[in-house]
């Protein structure tokens, strides 16, 4: 199912904006995930240099994508897109264990942001197709996700490259955006 099909499922009122914010560290697989959702070719993805901001609008929906390079000084600019976010999707490279602490810090800071309070969060434990990938349960424990009490959340194993697990995560998004909008 492509992104437009998912967005049509989300749409509960004419011209209603559903804002999905997709964040994560560089090389987590955000661009691949986005292209997978949009049913675009994923065979030629290059690392983002610096940062890329992409807003896609279609049929009353808005998907904001921040693809940020290694520069930590750029990450505070993510805040520009926090306003009126309906769902936060945070992508983690499950095979890059050396960066688990850094990605955990970024996720914690995001969850502490006032403009994102109570926003449901889906954490994609990406790159599960790699032998070195940590399972989602190990990542959840390492990041102390069980301590999140102010919002609904889900960690979903996936491979943006193969598409495995992506639909399950997006089904969760559909269910929780609908619940939030009521």
Backbone angles phi, psi at 44, to 5 degrees: -125, 70
The position carrying tokens 């995001």 is 110
Distance from C-alpha of 117 to C-alpha of 73, rounded to nearest angstrom = 23
Which letter does DSSP use for residue 49 in this model?
S
Is 96 among the annotated ligand-binding positions? no
Q: 126: annotated binding-site residue? A: yes
Topology of the domain comprising 16-181: Rossmann fold (3.40.50)
Q: Supply the pLDDT for residue 59.
A: 46
Mean pLDDT confidence for 157-177 = 89
Q: What gap in Å lies between CA 111 and CA 62, rounded to an integer?
A: 21
pLDDT at 98: 95
Catalytic residue numbers read 71
The pLDDT, as a whole number, for residue 104 is: 95
Q: 135 vs 101, 131, 138, 144, CA distance in Å?
A: 16, 10, 5, 14
Which H or E run contains 35? helix 30-37
Backbone angles phi, psi at 8, to 5 degrees: -65, -35
Question: Which pLDDT score, from 0 to 100, does residue 58 have?
Answer: 47
Map out the domains of the chain as residue ranges: 16-181
H-helix or E-strand containing 177?
helix 166-181
122 annotated to bind ligand: no
180 known member of a binding site:
no
* d(C-alpha 158, C-alpha 139), whole Å: 13
28 known member of a binding site: yes
pLDDT, one tens digit per residue, over 128-156 is 999 999 999 999 999 999 999 999 999 99
């Amino acid at each position: 199912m492509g992104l437009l099909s998912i967005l049509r499922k989300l749409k509960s009122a004419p011209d209603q904006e559903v804002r999905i914010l997709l964040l994560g560290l560089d090389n987590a697989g955000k661009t691949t995930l986005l292209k997978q959702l949009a049913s675009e070719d994923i065979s030629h993805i290059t690392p983002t240099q610096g940062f890329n901001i992409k807003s896609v609008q279609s049929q009353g929906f808005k998907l904001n994508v921040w693809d940020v390079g290694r520069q930590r000084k750029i990450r505070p600019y993510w805040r520009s897109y926090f306003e009126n976010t309906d769902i936060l999707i945070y992508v983690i490279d499950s095979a890059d264990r050396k960066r688990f602490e850094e990605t955990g810090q970024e996720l914690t800071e995001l969850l502490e942001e006032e403009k994102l309070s109570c926003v449901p969060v889906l954490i994609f434990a990406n790159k599960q197709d790699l032998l070195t990938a940590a399972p989602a349960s190990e990542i959840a424990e390492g990041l102390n996700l069980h301590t999140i009490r102010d919002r609904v959340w889900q960690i979903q194993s996936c491979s943006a490259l193969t598409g495995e697990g992506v639909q399950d995560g997006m089904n969760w998004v559909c269910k929780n955006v609908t619940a939030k909008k009521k």
